[in-house]
Amino acid sequence: MDDLALRNLVYRRFVELGRAPTMDELATTEEALGRLHELRMVVLEADRQEIRMAIPFSAVPTPYRVEARRRSWFANCAWDAYGILAALGVDGHISSSCPDCGEPIEIDVVDRRPEPADDVFHVLVPARSWWEDIVFT
Amino acid sequence: MNLFRSEEHLMRWLATTRRQLGATISSKKLCELAHAWHAGTLSPDWQPRTRDESQAILDRLGLTHDFWQLPR
């Protein structure tokens, strides 16, 4: 299986399972996943044994949960929460909370528009440095 | 990359965590950005974007400040 085919399989399985597929489930090798990591097609955990991100999907629980088609996924950040719905091509619901006050932030996305739409998105790291530490970004 | 209830909440969080202000956009614009960025992510024909193609997406949405410049 070439790199693109493996990358697409990782994404398909992520959508189906609601979590990251394991190496066994992908019937692949550490070397093959390592290549995808180097190509920034997935992000592996530090030990390179498991997938941490297939952007916009997160393999670990985060403050950004996305529901659509009666299923749910964790996103890596607010951008990726909208990104999951965009990737799926569906409307859905995003559940999060304000990092300042902890109050829930609940957003419906209908016809590709958020409701409410007045929350503020903050990016801490400049774009030139996003991939220096993509997990922190 | 977080969502805050308002600018006031963001500023308080920055002060509390002793972090610098980065860049902000509205949730509405973020939704537009995410759709432009990720619409083809699950396509079987997906191909990696070049740096310039990604920058063009940011530029089209008016994110042209130095903060939004991807590395060359």
pLDDT digit string, tens, across residues A6-57: 999 999 999 999 999 999 999 999 999 999 999 999 999 998 889 999 999 9
Every domain range in chain A assigned CATH 3.15.10.60: 64-115
A89's tokens:
């091509």
Q: Would you say A65 and A95 are in contact if contact means Cβ atoms under 8 Å apart?
A: yes
- H helix intervals, B2-48: 7-17, 27-38
Give the per-residue pLDDT at A41.
96
Give the per-residue pLDDT at A1.
84
Residue A93 confidence (pLDDT) above 90: yes
Cβ count within 10 A of residue A93:
16
Q: Do A116 and B27 touch (CB under 8 A)?
A: yes
| pTM score | 0.95
**Which one of 3.30.70.920, 3.40.50.720, 3.40.140.10, 3.15.10.60 gives the CATH number of domain A64-115?**
3.15.10.60
Smallest CA–CA distance, residue B18 to chain A, in Å, is: 12
Q: Would you say A101 and A95 are in contact if contact means Cβ atoms under 8 Å apart?
A: no
Option in A11, A119, A123 nearest B41 (CB): A11
In A, residues 68-127, which contact B (CB 8 Å cutoff)? 76-89, 96, 98-101, 103, 105, 107, 109, 112-114, 116-127
- Here the ipTM equals 0.95
What is the rounded average pLDDT for all residues in chain A?
95
Give the per-residue pLDDT at A49.
87
Cα A63 to Cα A5, A77, A127, A132: the distances in Å are 30, 8, 22, 22
Q: What is the pLDDT of residues B27-43, one digit of tens each?
A: 999 999 999 999 999 99
